[in-house]
Structure 1
Amino acid sequence: MNSDNVEAPTKGVQSFLAERLHLIADLLQQYPLLGAAMVLAIALIIALICRFVVFRQLRRWLPSDRTGPGATLLVQLQRPVFTTILCLGLIAAHRLLTGGTGGGPVASLLSTIILVSWVRMLFFQCGTLLQVISAKSARFSLIDQRAIPLLDLSCKLLVILFGSYALLLIWGINPLGWLASAGVIGIAVGFAAKDTLANLFSGFFILADAPYKVGDYVNLDSGERGRVTQIGLRSTRIMTRDDVEITLPNSLIASGKIVNESGGPSSSIRVTIPVGVAYGSDADQVCEILLGVAQQHAELAQTPEPRVRMRGFGASSLDFELLVWINLPEERGRIRHELLLGIYKALAAHQVEIPYTKSDIYIKELPSLNPASGGSQ
C-alpha cells in the first residue's frame, strides 16, 4: 500500500511534465520564430551568468596576487566562452527557423567565429598557460623555465596548424589535397630558403639547449661580446659595450663556441690582475697591499672575498695575482682600470719596486788610439 501511494503521485507528475513538454514542442513547431527567440534568450542568459557570476567567483578563489598568470588567463577566457555559448544559441535558433535541415553557410560562419575566438586566445596566451603550469608544477619540475620560450613557440605553431585544419573541415573542404600541395610547395620553398631554414632550426636548438638567455653576458667565437637583449627564431640581438646593438644569425651562433660569463653558479665573475714586484720585496707586505686595495673598492662582490696568490718566480720579478669578483661582466674594464691605478699608487707609497725591462752593457776593452796607424797628430 505504501509503495502504491508513493508511485501514484510520481506517475502523475511525470505525465503532467510530459504533457507540458508536448505542448511546448507543438507551440515551437507552430511558431518557430518564438522558439528561436527563446533559445537565443536562454543562450544569452547562460553566457552572461558565466561571464559575470562564474568567472567572478573563480577570481575570488585565486591567490591574493591578481596580476599573476592565472588571473590573466582567467580574464582572457571570458571572451571565447561568452562567444561560444552565444554562437551555439544562434546555431540552435537558426536550425529551429529552418526546420532542423542543417546549418548551411550560417552555421559554418558561426562555427568559424567560435574557432577564431579560441585560436586567437590560445595563440596569444600560450606563454601565460605555460607559466600557470610551471607555477603549479614547480615542486615537481615538470616544466623548466628555460624551456618555456621553445614550448610557447611550439604551442603557437600547433594552434595554427590545428586551427587551419578545423577551419577546412567546418567549410567542408577536404584537407588532404591541400596537404599534398603544401608538401610540394614546402620542398620548393626549402630549397629556395635554405639559409633562413638553417637559422630557424638553429633558433629551435638554441631555445631548447639554452646556452644563454636574455640578460646574459656572452662572448662569441666570431668576436662579438655583449649582453643578450633578444632571442628570436632567426637571429639573436646583442648589445655591445659601445651601446651598439648587433643582430647575429642563429646559424652562426649555433656553429661556434659561446662563452657565457653569466651562466655560472652565481652571477658574479672573477677578474684576475697579475702584479710583478722586484726581487727582495717583502712578499707578505705585497699581499697585504694588494688585499687592501681590493677591500677599499666598493663595487667588488663580497662573496667570494678578494684573495692574493703568488704564482711563480719570473725572470726579473716575483709574480702575484689579485683575484677579485665583480657582479656585472660589462663593468670588468672599468673596475680593472681602477684596481690597476690603486695598486700602482699603493706600491709606490710603500716603496715597493715594480720591475721593468733593463739592459746592462759591459765594455770589455776600449779600442787603442795608435798614431802610427795613420791618425793625425
Structure 2
Amino acid sequence: MDALATLDSFAPWEAAAVVVAVSLGAALLAEFVVLRAAQRFVTRTETKLDEIVLAELRVPLVASFALAGVFLLTRLDGVVAAVPVSERALEAFFGDPALTLVVVLWAWALNETVNRGVDYLQESGARYDFAPVFSNVWTLVVAVGTVGTVLYIWEIDVTPLLAGAGIAGIAVGFAAKDTVANFFGGVALYFDDTYRVGDFIELDSGETGTVVKVGVRSTTLLTRDEVMVTVPNSVLNATKVINQSAPSRRRRVRVPVGVAYGTDLDELEELLVDIALSESLVLDSPKPRCRFRRFGDSALEYELLCWVAAPTRRAKATHRLNRAIHDRFAEAGIEIPYPQREISVLRDADAAVAPSEPPAPDNGSPHATDGGDGP
C-alpha cells in the first residue's frame, strides 16, 4: 500500500514508466539470473523431474513478472485519473487480459508438468508409477478450474451457465452412459491399484496379456499371440482380474510328475531338484523342491516346485523342465507309468441249431388207423 501511495505522487507517465520498468527488470532478472542458476542446479541431480518442472514453469514465471506491471497500472489512482475512460473500462482493456493471460499460462504449465512427469515415470520403468488415466483426470480438473477462474476475472455470472450445464449434463449422461461408466471404472481401477502398464494380468474370461495402455475408456492388452485386446474399463471394474505381476513379478512353476511304484524316492527327489537347478530360467532363490502329493492308481504322484523371474516365462520353463525330466529319467532308468486297462471280449461258440420235428400222432387219437377199412 505504501508503494502504491508513493507511485500516486508521481506524474501519470512517470508512474507508468516506473511500473513497466520494474516489471520488465523483474522478468529479465528471473530469466537470466534465477532460472539459469536453477538450471545449473537441477542438471546435477539424478532425476529429470526437476528439469521438467523448471522447463514448464519458465514461461509463466517470466510472463507473470512482465504482465504484473500492466495489471498494476490499472490500480494506480494517478494513472486511472489521467486516462479519459472509466476505471472499469481501463481494467477491462489492460488489467483483465493481462491477468487472464497469466492464469492461462500457469494452467497450461501445470497441466504439462504433471503429464510429462507421468510419462517420464512410465518410461523410466518405475514400479509405482502413475496410471495414464490420472493425466486425463488432471487435464479435466485444470480445464474446468481455468474456465471458472477466467469467468470470475471478467465478472461473468455463471448461474445461468450452471443451470444450462446441469440440463445438458443430464442429457449427455443418458446418451453416453457407457462412456461415463468406463471413465469412472478407469478411475476406480487406478485408485484401487489393480494393475499398471507392463503388468501381466488374467481376466475372469480366461484371457491373459500384458497391459500396454490404460485409457479413459478402455484398457489394451497384448496377448502372447501378439494380438491386441481392448477391454472396457467398466467390464474390468466389474470382473475378477488376476494380476500375475503383483506384488512381485516372480511366479511359481508347478510340474506334476508320476513315477512307478517301487522307485527309490530319495534318488527321485534329488534328481528332480538337480534338474530344476540346471535350468537357466529357474531362480536359485527360493530353492527348488519337490513334494510327494498322493498315491495314484498307477503311479506315485510328485510335484516339482520352482520359481521364475516373470509370469511370461512360466510356459517356457515348464516346457524345458518336462523335456529334461523325460531325458534324465530315461538315463536313470526311472519309469514314468501310464494307466493300463485290460479288456476281455467273451464270444459264444458257433453252434448249429437243428429245427424241431413235429410230435408223433397219439395212438388213441380218433384219426389213428388200425389197418382196417376207413369210413
TM-score by length of structure 1 reads 0.80
Cα distance in 1 for partners of 2:51, 2:329 equals 61
Is 2:147 the counterpart of 1:164?
Answer: yes
Equivalent position amino acid for 2:178 in 1: D
Q: Deviations over 1:106-157 (max 9, x none)?
A: 32222221111011011112357899xxxxxxxxxxxx95677666554433
With over 3 angstroms needed to count, the CA separation of the structure-2 counterparts of 1:366 and 1:248, relative to structure 1, is closer
2:255 to 273, 282, 299: 273
Residue 200 of structure 1: how far off its partner (Å): 0.7
Is 2:206 the counterpart of 1:223?
Answer: yes
Equivalent position amino acid for 2:36 in 1: R
Equivalent position amino acid for 1:261 in 2: Q
2:259–2:301 CA contact under 8 A, matched in 1: yes
Cα distance in 2 for partners of 1:229, 1:120 equals 27
With over 3 angstroms needed to count, the CA separation of the structure-2 counterparts of 1:216 and 1:129, relative to structure 1, is closer
Is 2:186 the counterpart of 1:211?
Answer: no
Is 2:31 the counterpart of 1:51?
Answer: yes
Equivalent position amino acid for 1:115 in 2: V
Residue 72 of structure 1: how far off its partner (Å): 2.3
Task: Give percent identity, aligned residues only.
Answer: 34
With over 3 angstroms needed to count, the CA separation of the structure-2 counterparts of 1:44 and 1:66, relative to structure 1, is farther
Q: Deviations over 1:273-315 (max 9, x none)?
A: 1010111111112112211211111111121111111101000
1:127–1:148 CA contact under 8 A, matched in 2: no
Mapping for residues 68-217 of structure 1, pairs under 5 Å: 68-93=48-73, 96=79, 98=83, 101=87, 102-126=90-114, 145=128, 153-217=136-200
| Structure with larger Rg | 2
Counterpart residue number, 1:318: 300
With over 3 angstroms needed to count, the CA separation of the structure-2 counterparts of 1:104 and 1:289, relative to structure 1, is same
Equivalent position amino acid for 2:261 in 1: Y
Equivalent position amino acid for 1:124 in 2: E
The answer to which of 66-75 and 76-85 deviates more is 66-75
Counterpart residue number, 1:294: 276
Q: Kindly indicate which of the two structures has a greater share of residues assigned to helix.
A: 1
Residue 362 of structure 1: how far off its partner (Å): 5.2
With over 3 angstroms needed to count, the CA separation of the structure-2 counterparts of 1:273 and 1:220, relative to structure 1, is same
Q: Deviations over 1:309-363 (max 9, x none)?
A: 1101000000000111111211222221111111111111111111112122457
TM-score by length of structure 2 reads 0.80
Q: Deviations over 1:20-47 (max 9, x none)?
A: x69x945x23xx2x54344322211111
2:333 to 337, 351, 354: 351
With over 3 angstroms needed to count, the CA separation of the structure-2 counterparts of 1:130 and 1:240, relative to structure 1, is closer
1:36–1:92 CA contact under 8 A, matched in 2: no
2:133–2:216 CA contact under 8 A, matched in 1: no
2:118–2:129 CA contact under 8 A, matched in 1: no
Is 2:259 the counterpart of 1:259?
Answer: no
Equivalent position amino acid for 1:118 in 2: W
Equivalent position amino acid for 2:65 in 1: I
Unaligned segments of structure 2, at least 5 residues: 1-5, 120-126, 355-375
1:293–1:339 CA contact under 8 A, matched in 2: yes
1:217–1:227 CA contact under 8 A, matched in 2: yes
Cα distance in 2 for partners of 1:66, 1:44 equals 34
With over 3 angstroms needed to count, the CA separation of the structure-2 counterparts of 1:130 and 1:228, relative to structure 1, is closer
Residue 104 of structure 1: how far off its partner (Å): 2.1
> Over aligned residue pairs, what C-alpha RMSD do you find?
2.9
SS at match of 1:78: helix
The answer to which of 92-101 and 182-191 deviates more is 92-101
Counterpart residue number, 1:135: none
1:37–1:93 CA contact under 8 A, matched in 2: no
Residue 58 of structure 1: how far off its partner (Å): 3.8
2:250–2:310 CA contact under 8 A, matched in 1: yes
